[in-house]
């Protein structure tokens, strides 16, 4: 198998530089694309949807730039996909961040806020992700590695089968989800030193 050719989608939601550099560090050939045309020209084998910031802004930018149908088809075809942080949340049904917004509805569930009366919000820092299902992305990683989080909202889902890892902060929530070659993580692998890079390396092998 050759090097993974990964496109990092640039839809104006935060720092894509770090994600690109981290993917390169573990052997991906990387291009960033802010239009679907650029994506087609690169002919990727892997697709990465990063992002930080507000859900509503994120989904409307994806729709406006024409990414939403491409993502839905790519995922329906079970091609290698990785969502990071907001890029994970957008895969779910809906969010109530600044009004109600529909997501890409790949996975059932909703995006809900942490409660500032129960602990500090946002959650910023290193927290454990406990493995709760086997998946090739877990290869070579410990049962509960520490990974870097920074977020004020989290997902909840009725489908336990997609939960690959979970984290405790104001209760237990899914911090790593996926099925087959489609995966998404609430933490930032590109900011999580060795463990984070290992996830990105494993993603390249999907």
Partner 1 sequence: MLKKRIIPCLDMKGGRVVKGVCFESLRDAGDPVESAALYDRMGADELCFLDIGASVENRGTLFEIVEKTASRVFLPLTVGGGIRSVDEIRRALNSGADKVSLNSAALLNPGLLTEGALRFGSQCIVLAVDVKREGSSWRVYSHGGTRPTPRDAIEWIVEGVRAGAGEILLTSMDRDGTGEGYDLDLIRTVSRSVDVPLIASGGAGSKEDFLSVFEAGADAALAASLFHFGTVDLRDLRRTLFERGAPVRPPFDLLKEPFP
Give catalytic residue positions: 85, 188, 190
- Candidates 66, 108, 116, 171: give the one binding partner 1 (CB under 8 A): 116
- Candidates 100, 168, 171, 180: give the one binding partner 1 (CB under 8 A): 168
Site for partner 1 in 18-77 (CB under 8 A): 18, 21-22, 25-26, 52-54
Instruction: Write out the DSSP string of the chain.
Output: ----EEEEE-SSSS--HHHHHHHHHTT-EEEEESSHHHHHHH--SEEEE---S-HHHHHHHHHHTTHHHHHHHHHHTT--EEEETHHHHTTSSEE-TTS-EE---SSS-EEEE--TTTS-SSEEEEEE-EE-S--GGGTT--SS-EEEEEESEEEE-S-GGGEEEEEESSSEEEEEEEETTEEEESS-GGGSHHHHHHHHHHHHT-
- 196 contributes a contact to partner 1 by CB under 8 A: yes
- Candidates 112, 121, 132, 133: give the one binding partner 1 (CB under 8 A): 121
Of the ranges 61-69, 74-82, 150-158, 178-186, which one interacts with partner 1 (CB under 8 A)?
Answer: 150-158
Q: Which residues bind partner 1 (CB under 8 A)?
A: 14-15, 17-18, 21-22, 25-26, 52-54, 116-117, 119-128, 146, 148-152, 168-169, 188, 190-194, 196-198, 201
């Amino acid at each position: 198998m050759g090097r993974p050719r990964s496109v990092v989608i640039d839809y104006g939601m935060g720092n894509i530089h770090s994600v690109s550099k981290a993917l390169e560090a573990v052997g991906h050939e990387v291009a960033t694309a802010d239009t679907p045309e650029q994506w087609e020209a690169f002919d990727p084998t892997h697709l990465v949807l990063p992002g930080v910031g507000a859900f509503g802004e994120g989904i409307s930018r994806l729709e406006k730039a024409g990414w939403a149908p491409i993502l839905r088809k790519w995922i329906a075809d079970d091609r290698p996909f990785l969502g990071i942080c907001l890029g994970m949340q957008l895969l779910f049904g809906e969010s109530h961040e600044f009004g109600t917004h529909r997501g890409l509805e790949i996975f059932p569930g909703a995006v809900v806020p942490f409660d500032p009366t129960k602990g500090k919000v946002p959650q910023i820092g290193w927290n454990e992700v406990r493995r709760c299902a086997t998946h090739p992305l877990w290869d070579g990683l410990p049962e509960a590695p520490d990974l870097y989080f920074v977020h004020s909202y989290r997902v909840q889902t009725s489908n336990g089968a997609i939960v690959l890892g979970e984290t405790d902060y104001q209760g237990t929530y899914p911090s790593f989800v996926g099925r087959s070659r489609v995966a998404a993580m609430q933490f930032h692998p590109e900011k999580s030193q060795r463990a984070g890079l290992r996830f990105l390396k494993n993603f390249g092998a999907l």
